[in-house]
A and B are shown apart, each in its own frame.
Chain A
Amino acid sequence: MIQLEISDKHQETYNNARMLAEHMMRPYSRKYDKAEHTYPEEMEEVAKLLAGSRSATTDGGKSDGDTSAVKNGGNMGATIGMQALAWGDLGLFLAIPGSGLGNAAINAVGTPEQREKYAKAYAAMCITEPGTGSDSANISTTAVRDGDEWVINGEKIYVTDGERSDTLVVWATLDKSLGKAAIKSFIVEKGTPGCEVTRLEHKMGIRASDTAAISFNDCRIPLDNILGSAEIATDDAGRKKAFGGVMQTFDNTRPPVAAMAVGIARAALDMTREILAEEDIQLDFNKKPSNVSAIEAELYKMESEYEGARLLVLKAAWMADNGQPNSKEASMCKAKAGRMGNYVTLRCVELCQSLGYSEQRLLEKFARDSKIVDIFEGTQQIQQLIVARQVLGKSSSELK
């Protein structure tokens, strides 16, 4: 039955996370925006509470064995919780121990043993290299087998939580001449000799989150630390499948990242409407957009864009919960939410004029933080490319 309100259980998830965001994140927003690279110790408490609520929540939907029934499960729950936490502060959210993308990767493709071993890890994801961004099939970091070990060599940048994490998931190639089929991911524990954090980036936004450059020099890890199979597919279909498996992680991570943009946009809109209400500018959702003041028309437009992005995120997550392939929808929601979050936060600053631009409030910070969401986990343009290929039925060699 077509019904687009979230379940009571997920509404509760949202309310709880939102409470946490309001009382345990917002108060520290400005502090750690100013004190870049300082470890936000207050987030440890948030991490504990989140871990508690996660284990208390079982998968949503019907659990009476009826597999045909519609499910509102973990994927939806994650995007909904994410909206609330990003409403609090995106930088601080990314600094919450255990929130790393590496954890998502281990959970998605790890063996039961790996999942258990790293259940409590704080795992960061190392993909990007100085010479390789969106074209992740082109990475140069190598993994070479030497007896019972893999030897990793290369340089990774833009590793979110790179310094604070205790575990890394590293993309490396077994043989660059074999193309993307030879790209595998490996679990590297921090402190392994040869693995070193070389630099922390200074950024425009999400300054509470550390972004590191990490180098691997003859870094030796156990053979078991490969995620997935070590075999390199030899035929075309196998090659496609192998890399596709790695890329599939993104189908699961893009909706939650898109949800970050939804959360920041909500934060900016809430604050802007509060500020404008003091000057008696309020929305009644009544007069035609062509008959209202420019400022009201803009508020309506932002609310409308926000709602469209929010529903696209929910759809992509709902499809994942119900076992439907959602690669196109994951990219659609990321594209829409990414540009919406950036547009809304920047416009909110503009509408509130000096109050928006000033560091006395957080609107300017939302506008700085939001930009990264349209970049990481696949830029706006990469998402458009993926959507376009799927809509038009094009291969990556036809539509480059």
Chain B
Amino acid sequence: MNAQAEERLFDLTRDDDQRMNQDTMQRFATNEIRATAKDADEAGATPEGFYDKTAELGLSLLPIPEALGGAGMARSPVSNALNAEDLAWGDLALTLGAITPQAFVNTVLDQGSDAQQEKYLPRFCEGIFVPATTALMEPRATFDPMQPQCTATAIANGYSLSGSKCMVPLGESAELVLVIAQLEGKGPAAFIVEGTPEGMTRTREDHMGLRTLELASLTFDDVQLPGDALLGDCSFDLQRFVNLSRLGLCALAVGCCQGVLDYVKEYVNERVAFGEPISNRQAVAFMVADMAIELEAMRLMTWRAASLAEQGLDFHEQAYLAKVACAEHGMKIGTDGVQLLGGHGFCREHPVEIWYRNLRAIAILDGVASV
């Protein structure tokens, strides 16, 4: 990361580690994710043992300091985004589930105190999947990620937390939940909630997509938290958290859309109508061309924002614009994916309808998948 010392050059080349990772991730995406995604979506649950297999990829432990049992690699938003992209080619929802603990780890590393890192991170280094998650969204039509209404009040020896969260990934089973709330008199703050303390209820949510993600709403009714539940020194940088999460969501959209493009490419080349492959028609071929063009733009915008973040530079605007692009064009690619397969795309024998339902979530989600 001494790019500053050398001449800074525009470059789209993955480094050696990223290239090696790409192989691993792509193989996993094909063999473990794509192969199980459809059944998992129908069952509304992850396949038995799936998350434990993802733990072997070591996504969460890489940036954890060696002293805490991790690999002690420099935290890399670019590498994290690349991994998410390559995995999401297999399935967006399963991938989001797999990287959800990583978002918790990243945020604790980013904004947590040394004591909190020592307390919570070693358990992520034992090669098993630790269900941990982040909870920002709230059930309102006009919810804004920068204005959570869940509130925390300072009480003797700690805090009292009240309010509702929704669309929390792994929300039913997460052992650790990072809850974002307004700390009265202070502003946005994050609290680590362990287990299910008194006053907290978890309710499974069913949505049009992301059906394997075990999304849940969490309600807090005067939940008492100890003083050290407050992440860091009470000046939680919500904007940074939201921005890093936008990068993760964009990477997921890029990966999923690459899956759509690769799938329809094959289909339109094989499907015959009027005596020739439908891809011989411009009406079909131009849709595919536009998919490829917009997908590449989404990817470059995501990479640029992630690279700025990695260099410690301001990436606020670029993360926002990347999410605008990924929400808009990602959904367009999702809907065109179904359209190009016609009635076949609408039926569940093909995965494009899953991708259509999952891609709708990109515009909506915030505060998850932080890289």
- Binding partners A and B: yes
Residues of A that sit less than 8 Å from B by CB: 1-10, 60-62, 70-72, 76, 285-291, 300-301, 303-305, 307-309, 311-312, 314-315, 318, 329, 332, 335-336, 381, 383-385, 387-389, 391-394, 398-400
**Stretch in B114-122, B163-171, B208-216, B324-332 with 4+ CB within 8 Å of A:** B324-332
Report if A2-B78 is in contact (Cβ < 8 Å); known contacts: A7-B7, A307-B301, A394-B280: yes
In angstroms, Cα B318 to Cα A289, docked, is 14
In angstroms, Cα B279 to Cα A314, docked, is 29
Q: Across the interface, do B10 and A392 meet the contact criterion of CB distance under 8 Å?
A: no
Report if A2-B316 is in contact (Cβ < 8 Å); known contacts: A308-B300, A387-B293: no
Cβ–Cβ < 8 Å partners of B318 in chain A:
307
Q: Across the interface, do A287 and B144 meet the contact criterion of CB distance under 8 Å?
A: yes
Kindly identify which residue among B145, B286, B308 contacts A288, using a CB–CB cutoff of 8 Å: B145
Report if A387-B297 is in contact (Cβ < 8 Å); known contacts: A2-B14, A4-B12, A311-B304: no
Q: Across the interface, do B303 and A4 meet the contact criterion of CB distance under 8 Å?
A: yes
For the complex formed, measure the closest distance between the CB of B257 and the CB atoms of chain A, giving whole angstroms: 13
Q: Across the interface, do B366 and A288 meet the contact criterion of CB distance under 8 Å?
A: yes
Output the residue of B279, B293, B301, B327 with the most chain A CB within 10 A: B293
Task: Indicate if B298 sits at the interface (CB-CB under 8 A).
Answer: yes
Report if A332-B13 is in contact (Cβ < 8 Å); known contacts: A287-B144, A307-B318: no
Cβ–Cβ < 8 Å partners of B327 in chain A:
289
Residues of B that sit less than 8 Å from A by CB: 3, 7-15, 18, 78, 82, 142-146, 239, 261, 265, 268-269, 277, 279-280, 282, 285-286, 288-290, 292-294, 296-298, 300-301, 303-304, 306-308, 311, 313, 316-318, 320-322, 324-325, 327-328, 363, 366
Known A301-B324, A384-B289, A392-B265; further 19 A-B contacts with Cβ < 8 A: A1-B15, A2-B14, A3-B8, A4-B304, A5-B307, A5-B308, A7-B9, A285-B317, A290-B363, A304-B322, A305-B325, A315-B296, A318-B10, A385-B289, A387-B292, A387-B293, A392-B279, A394-B285, A398-B280
In angstroms, Cα B297 to Cα A62, docked, is 27
Interface of B is mostly: helix
Taking CB as reference atom, which chain B residue is nearest A9?
B7
Cβ–Cβ < 8 Å partners of B297 in chain A:
308-309, 311-312, 336
Output the residue of A10, A61, A385, A392 with the most chain B CB within 10 A: A392
Q: Across the interface, do A6 and B10 meet the contact criterion of CB distance under 8 Å?
A: yes
Cβ–Cβ < 8 Å partners of A287 in chain B:
144, 146
Q: Across the interface, do B280 and A7 meet the contact criterion of CB distance under 8 Å?
A: no
Interface of A is mostly: helix
A-B contact pairs, 7 of them (CB 8 A): A2-B13, A3-B10, A3-B307, A4-B303, A5-B308, A307-B325, A391-B288
Taking CB as reference atom, which chain A residue is nearest B304?
A4
In angstroms, Cα B303 to Cα A398, docked, is 35
Kindly identify which residue among A2, A5, A311, A387 contacts B8, using a CB–CB cutoff of 8 Å: A5
For the complex formed, measure the closest distance between the CB of A60 and the CB atoms of chain B, giving whole angstroms: 8
For the complex formed, measure the closest distance between the CB of B305 and the CB atoms of chain A, giving whole angstroms: 9
Kindly identify which residue among A312, A318, A399 contacts B296, using a CB–CB cutoff of 8 Å: A312
Q: Across the interface, do A286 and B293 meet the contact criterion of CB distance under 8 Å?
A: no
Output the residue of B13, B143, B308, B366 with the most chain A CB within 10 A: B13
Q: Across the interface, do A308 and B301 meet the contact criterion of CB distance under 8 Å?
A: yes
Cβ–Cβ < 8 Å partners of A387 in chain B:
289, 292-293
Kindly identify which residue among A4, A309, A388 contacts B10, using a CB–CB cutoff of 8 Å: A4
Kindly identify which residue among B13, B280, B290 contacts A399, using a CB–CB cutoff of 8 Å: B280
Report if A285-B316 is in contact (Cβ < 8 Å); known contacts: A1-B11, A392-B279: yes
Kindly identify which residue among A8, A291, A300 contacts B7, using a CB–CB cutoff of 8 Å: A8
Cβ–Cβ < 8 Å partners of A335 in chain B:
289-290, 293
For the complex formed, measure the closest distance between the CB of B165 and the CB atoms of chain A, giving whole angstroms: 17
Cβ–Cβ < 8 Å partners of A70 in chain B:
9, 11, 13
Q: Across the interface, do A1 and B13 meet the contact criterion of CB distance under 8 Å?
A: yes
In angstroms, Cα B285 to Cα A399, docked, is 8
For the complex formed, measure the closest distance between the CB of B297 and the CB atoms of chain A, giving whole angstroms: 3
Cβ–Cβ < 8 Å partners of B294 in chain A:
308, 336
